[in-house]
Amino acid sequence: MRPMTRIAVALLVCAVSWASASAQTPGPTVVLSTTTSTQDSGLLDVLIPLFEKQSGLTVKPVSVGTGQALALAARGEADVTLVHAPALEKKYVADGKLLNRRLVMYNDFIVVGPEADPAKIRGEPRAAAALAKIAAAGARFVSRGDKSGTHILEQALWKEAGVTPAAPWYIESGQGMGATLGIADDRRAYTLTDRGTYLAFSKRIALKTLVEGDRALFNVYSVMEVNSANGPRVNAAGGKVFADFMLAPATQAVIKTFGVEKFGQALFVPIAGKKDEDL
Amino acid sequence: MDLLWAGLREALRLLVTGDREVVTILLLSLQVSGLATLISLALGVPAGAALALLRFPGRTLVVSAVNAGMGLPPVVVGLFISLLLWRSGPLGGWEILYTPTAIVLAQAVIAAPIVMGITLAAVQNVPEKFRLQLLALGASRLQMVRVVLREARLPMLAAVMAGFGGIISEIGASMMVGGNIKGQTRTLTTAMVLETGKGNFEIAIALSILLLVLVFGVNWALTAVQQRRSV
């Protein structure tokens, strides 16, 4: 059994170093359910250390799809949630599952496509009108097709355009934004993307920004606290501290300049204190 | 091709400079998967050996279940462990969801059937006549099992390799029960998915190379032990 003993010793060393590593987790934690976009953009990596330093609390950010982030919060699996699905959010607030919905920031979506622009949508002020043109021209369009926030917005825009998109020109990727941009680039197709992911990928793809600035393309993030009645172990107080932090002037200032250094433009616009109708 | 080279350069740079974030991720992956392998061995070896040596009604069914379990999809394990560990779940009171402990638990569940199945096959490969002979020579059953396990030790190293290799490269369960939290539960594979999603292909490639080197290194060490003649 000698070789086995050796392996066991090696593994035991792992286990011991493990125990010492996991012993250093500090006291109270706040579970934040949020969307992948806040993490993929790198914003959380900047804000969370700042928050932990200020509050002495530890944050566990769980980045999932918008629908799942809200569902987790409603079940009391999280203490605070930061998402971007206003209609859905208001439903949860109306049901009393989530409390104190406050706007934090927005970023925007853009319609990108090939330089040649076969459907002639460049500069079209309304996104829905641009999609109608794409459908009329039968130009290729790649959809996320994954019920993500981006996909839900896309479906709403098709509805507004009065078009039921269909194959062969309509392609469903079933993947994340990055992979979808790659497919759209490869097929010289149009797609709807958030600006942050597009900027991150712009080095690698030839797609151009063709439609931007429509109010319908604004992607508004809100923070909501979880009702402590949702579950037995909700840290409602910690959740409130985090929500307040997101709206604090110092935090909003960080959000305002986030991304400038890396992409040459800010990824988010801070809007603490504003209401939906102000935008 | 330029991306691949950039990735290789990045991997080398991260290794040489000992980038703190990468080192944290690397150590966590090693510790989590190492500990999970240890647990799966503690459970899988005795269970596999018992299953190989005992005869009881319904044994074929159990053996089939173990063999099927060797292909247990990690994302299924991840989902069920999450449900158990949720605050509202039966083990919610442990408060270990989104901690490395939860990943160890999930990975041990994934690796245990692999270890069990390979142990089962290895022990069954020791000729039955040999076992009978041991008993005839006056060995107790426990002594017989010890000698048989000793005979089967080389193929059982394959169990360690398969178990460890399977879980260090696993992603579905680590993502679901760990949450890919920076500095807490971010492992090599979840970091790779994140960096790819962010469009940081160089870092993703660098992490893949680190993972491959790690898996190769561990298997190399184990193979060296396995193939050494004097054991």
Specify whether A63 is located in the same domain as A135.
no
Q: Which residues of A touch B32 (CB under 8 A)?
A: 18
A114: in domain: yes
pTM: 0.78
Residue that terminates a domain, selected from A201, A217, A233? A217
Specify whether A70 is located in the same domain as A90.
yes
Instruction: Decide if B196 and A18 are in contact by the 8 Å CB cutoff.
Output: no
Specify whether A96 is located in the same domain as A151.
no
Specify whether A114 is located in the same domain as A176.
yes
Instruction: Decide if B98 and A18 are in contact by the 8 Å CB cutoff.
Output: no
Instruction: Check residue A3 and give its pLDDT.
Output: 58
Tens of pLDDT, residue by residue over B132-148, are 899 899 888 889 888 88
Question: What is the count of structural domains for chain A?
Answer: 2
Which chain B residue lies closest to A178 (C-alpha atoms)? Answer: B197
Specify whether A35 is located in the same domain as A166.
no
A271: in domain: yes
Tens of pLDDT, residue by residue over B189-204, are 999 988 887 777 888 8
- B218 pLDDT higher than 60: yes
Q: How far is A25 from chain B (nearest CA, A)?
A: 9
Q: Which residues of B touch A1 (CB under 8 A)?
A: 149-150, 153
Specify whether A112 is located in the same domain as A213.
yes
Specify whether A232 is located in the same domain as A101.
yes
A124: in domain: yes
A8: in domain: no
Pick from B59, B48, B40: nearest CA to B124: B48
Quickly state the pLDDT bin for B2 (edges 50, 70, 90). Answer: confident
Tens of pLDDT, residue by residue over A70-115, are 999 999 999 999 998 888 899 999 999 999 999 999 999 999 999 9
- A21 pLDDT higher than 60: no
Residue that terminates a domain, selected from A185, A217, A249? A217
Instruction: Check residue A13 and give its pLDDT.
Output: 64
Q: How far is A61 from chain B (nearest CA, A)?
A: 6
Pick from A5, A12, A13, A22 the residue to mutate for testing the B interface (most B CBs within 10 Å).
Answer: A22
- From CA A271, how far away is CA A255, in angstroms rounded? 10
Q: Which residues of B touch A235 (CB under 8 A)?
A: none
Pick from A6, A11, A144, A226 the residue to mutate for testing the B interface (most B CBs within 10 Å).
Answer: A11
Give per-residue burial for A169-199: e unless 16+ CB within 10 Å, then b.
bbbbbebbbbbbbbbbbeeebbbbbbbbbbb
- B121 pLDDT higher than 90: yes
A18: in domain: no
Inform me whether the C-beta atom of residue B184 falls under 8 Å from chain A C-beta atoms. Answer: yes
Instruction: Decide if B100 and A31 are in contact by the 8 Å CB cutoff.
Output: no
Instruction: Decide if B222 and A177 are in contact by the 8 Å CB cutoff.
Output: no
Instruction: Check residue B229 and give its pLDDT.
Output: 52
Q: Which of A4-8, A163-167, A217-221, A250-254 has the highest mean pLDDT?
A: A250-254
Q: How far is B194 from chain A (nearest CA, A)?
A: 7
Which residue in the set B101, B160, B179 is minimally distant from A7, CB to CB? B160
Q: How far is A18 from chain B (nearest CA, A)?
A: 6
As for the ipTM of the complex, it is 0.71
Specify whether A102 is located in the same domain as A228.
yes
Angle between helices B100-125 and B59-69 (to 10 degrees): 130
A182: in domain: yes
Instruction: Decide if A6 and B225 are in contact by the 8 Å CB cutoff.
Output: yes
Instruction: Check residue B10 and give its pLDDT.
Output: 84
Average pLDDT over residues A173-183: 85
Which residue would you say has higher pLDDT here, A174 or B114? B114
* B67-70 own/partner pairs: CB under 8 Å, 24+ apart: B67/B117, B69/B112, B69/B113, B69/B114, B69/B116, B69/B117, B70/B113, B70/B114, B70/B117
Instruction: Decide if A3 and B153 are in contact by the 8 Å CB cutoff.
Output: yes
For chains A and B, CB pairs below 8 A equal 109
Please answer whether residues A226 and A234 qualify as being in contact, where contact means their C-beta atoms are separated by less than 8 angstroms.
yes
Pick from B3, B20, B25, B38 the residue to mutate for testing the A interface (most A CBs within 10 Å).
Answer: B38
A209: domain range? 108-217
Which residue in the set A6, A11, A44 is minimally distant from B38, CB to CB? A11
CATH T-level topology, domain B33-196: MetI-like fold (1.10.3720)
Instruction: Decide if B197 and A40 are in contact by the 8 Å CB cutoff.
Output: yes
Instruction: Check residue A136 and give its pLDDT.
Output: 95
- A174 pLDDT higher than 90: no
Tens of pLDDT, residue by residue over B67-111, are 999 999 999 999 999 999 988 889 988 889 889 999 999 999 999
Specify whether A191 is located in the same domain as A145.
yes
Q: Which residues of B touch A4 (CB under 8 A)?
A: 153, 156-157
Instruction: Decide if B157 and A6 are in contact by the 8 Å CB cutoff.
Output: no
Quickly state the pLDDT bin for B230 (edges 50, 70, 90). Answer: very low
Specify whether A65 is located in the same domain as A51.
yes
Tens of pLDDT, residue by residue over A227-251, are 999 988 899 999 999 999 999 999 9
Q: Locate A219 and state its tokens.
A: 């992607």
Specify whether A227 is located in the same domain as A94.
yes
Q: What is the CATH number of the domain that holds A99?
A: 3.40.190.10
Inform me whether the C-beta atom of residue B115 falls under 8 Å from chain A C-beta atoms. Answer: no
Quickly state the pLDDT bin for A265 (edges 50, 70, 90). Answer: confident
Instruction: Check residue B33 and give its pLDDT.
Output: 96
- B219 pLDDT higher than 60: yes
Specify whether A32 is located in the same domain as A90.
yes
